[in-house]
Chain A
């Protein structure tokens, strides 16, 4: 296993379209996190899963954002009716249950550009 994998690496879309990002965590990791990073800022927490349970989703930026992890393995982050302000890097990270919340393994990110 080579690490956290994210797809696509770069997505360009028109305003109003829906986009979906996929994250495949390290196989033995049961925690999965989504972050957003904009230029000049640190990663901003969005949501996280332990196995298939979404334990925190109050930080999702609006009701246009949703995330799933149906079988406790890969996860998807969907943004509906995209806006130009959604342009950012979306980072996925995973960790082992019982590890510290800050010991995260990040993927390389999915960069979203909304025209």
Chain B
């Protein structure tokens, strides 16, 4: 069985500071990993994916994620947070089907 864990229900960061949203995964075989963002009363939007290759993956809106096989992690990062980044972020893993984490609420404080 595959699973994803997002250990933080909420992350608070000051505008302009770097942000990290954590994700760890468990899957047999090579993982395909994803991050999605959800704004209030909206559907999920794809941010970025890791398939293979470079461990640092760049995505939409200046976000990037670092794949670490030994730690089975796929943390989402951004060098400088914006207030507009405040939203709910979901990590997901897919092998034969897609499994989402429980989400982390990111609050960027002006």
Contacts and interface: CB of A to CB of B under 8 A. Distances in A.
A32 interface: no
5 smallest beta-carbon distances between A and B, as pairs: A42-B100, A106-B43, A102-B94, A101-B94, A102-B34
Contact of A106 (B44, B51, B93, B94): B44
Nearest to A3: B43
A7 interface: no
Contacts of B101: 42
A64 to B, nearest CB: 22
Given A100-B32, A100-B94, A106 B45 contact: yes
A4 interface: yes
A41 B103 contact: yes
Given A41-B103, A108-B41, 5 more contacts: A45-B97, A100-B94, A102-B34, A104-B46, A106-B36
B67 interface: no
Interface residues of A, number: 21
25 contacts: A6-B43, A40-B102, A42-B92, A43-B90, A44-B100, A45-B97, A45-B99, A91-B44, A93-B43, A93-B44, A100-B49, A100-B94, A101-B95, A102-B33, A102-B34, A102-B92, A102-B93, A102-B94, A102-B98, A103-B34, A103-B49, A104-B98, A105-B46, A106-B44, A108-B43
Nearest to A102: B94
A25 interface: no
A107 B4 CA distance: 23
Interface residues of B, number: 26
Interface centre among A41, A102, A103 (most CB of B within 10 A): A102
Interface of B: 4, 32-34, 36, 41-46, 49, 51, 90, 92-103
A106 B100 CA distance: 14
A87 B98 CA distance: 22
Contacts of A91: 43-44
A100 B100 contact: no
Interface in A29-84: 40-45, 56
A103 B46 contact: yes
A38 B95 CA distance: 23
